[in-house]
Amino acid sequence: DTVLTQSPALAVSPGERVSISCRASEGVNSYMHWYQQKPGQQPKLLIYKASNLASGVPARFSGSGSGTDFTLTIDPVEADDTATYFCQQSWNDPYTFGAGTKLELK
Amino acid sequence: EVLLQQSGAELVRPGSSVKISCKASGYTFTDYYMHWVKQRPEQGLVWIGRINPANGNTVYAEKFKSKATLTADKSSNTAYMQLSSLTSEDTATYFCTSGRYGSSPFDYWGQGVMVTVSS
């Protein structure tokens, strides 16, 4: 299975820029997606195919990368961005998720 | 508006089975895969498998091949997942989520069903 390794928990101040990384154990082309999950809620698609903003998602969110290394960037961070962020690949079966990066605001 | 409405929370006995549902509305049911995802308390997301509602074809992650059975009813736009031989390891929230055919992301998500396995 394709293992996705995410950066550990992060703490940032509102207004700052934050980057969350995701490294795949094998190539996934550009088929890496990012989701935001708040406590008690279902995940929400933010970025699809590495760099495409999902419908209704603020332009503060952006994605980059290809192959095995991918990044989700939030700039500037707002208080409402407190959540866990997951990467997910759909290039190789079975689809897999990263363990999640918990973003906290100072 | 797209909506995936899942059935209610379940409390089930070890060794039993449970079948949970996911009713789709707001899009053409047969144009999207329906996937199922497991999330244990305070843990990450695990992909269980997917079904093509148009023809019933399924793909499962290896570890769920003997645990989960996915079906879909085109007449009612409803997908189902049956979990068998339940143990405490199956206590989790289960999400249905739909995505376009091909290697597409999960566009829409149900609210999740909490399944608790306890005697």
- Return averaged pLDDT per consecutive 10 residues of chain A, 106 residues in all: 94 97 97 97 98 97 97 97 97 96 96
Q: What's residue B81's pLDDT?
A: 98
Q: B29 pairs with which residues across the strands?
A: none
Percent of the residues in chain B that have a pLDDT greater than 70, as a whole number: 100
Which tokens in the block code for residue A68?
Answer: 């095995």
Contact flag A43-B109 (C-beta cutoff 8 Å): yes
Contact flag B35-A95 (C-beta cutoff 8 Å): yes
- Mean pLDDT for B19-42 is 97
- Alpha-carbon distance B11 to B73, whole Å? 25
- Alpha-carbon distance A81 to A32, whole Å? 20
* Nearest residue, CB atoms, B110 vs list A1, A42, A97: A42
SS3 B109: strand
- Alpha-carbon distance A83 to A77, whole Å? 12
- Alpha-carbon distance A63 to A33, whole Å? 9
* Minimum distance, in Å, between the CA of residue B101 and any CA atom of chain A: 11
* Minimum distance, in Å, between the CA of residue A15 and any CA atom of chain B: 28
* Nearest residue, CB atoms, B45 vs list A1, A49, A97: A97
Closest to B64 in 3D by CA, of B80, B42, B46: B46
Side chain identity at B72, as an amino acid letter? A
Taking 90 as the threshold, does the pLDDT of residue B42 lie above it? no
Q: What is the mean pLDDT of chain B?
A: 97
Residues in chain B closer than 8 A to A49 (CB atoms):
105
User: What confidence tens digit (pLDDT) does each residue in B66-103 have?
Assistant: 999 999 999 999 999 999 999 999 999 999 999 999 89
Work out the pLDDT band at B3, boundaries 50, 70, 90: very high
* Nearest residue, CB atoms, A86 vs list B44, B107, B111: B44
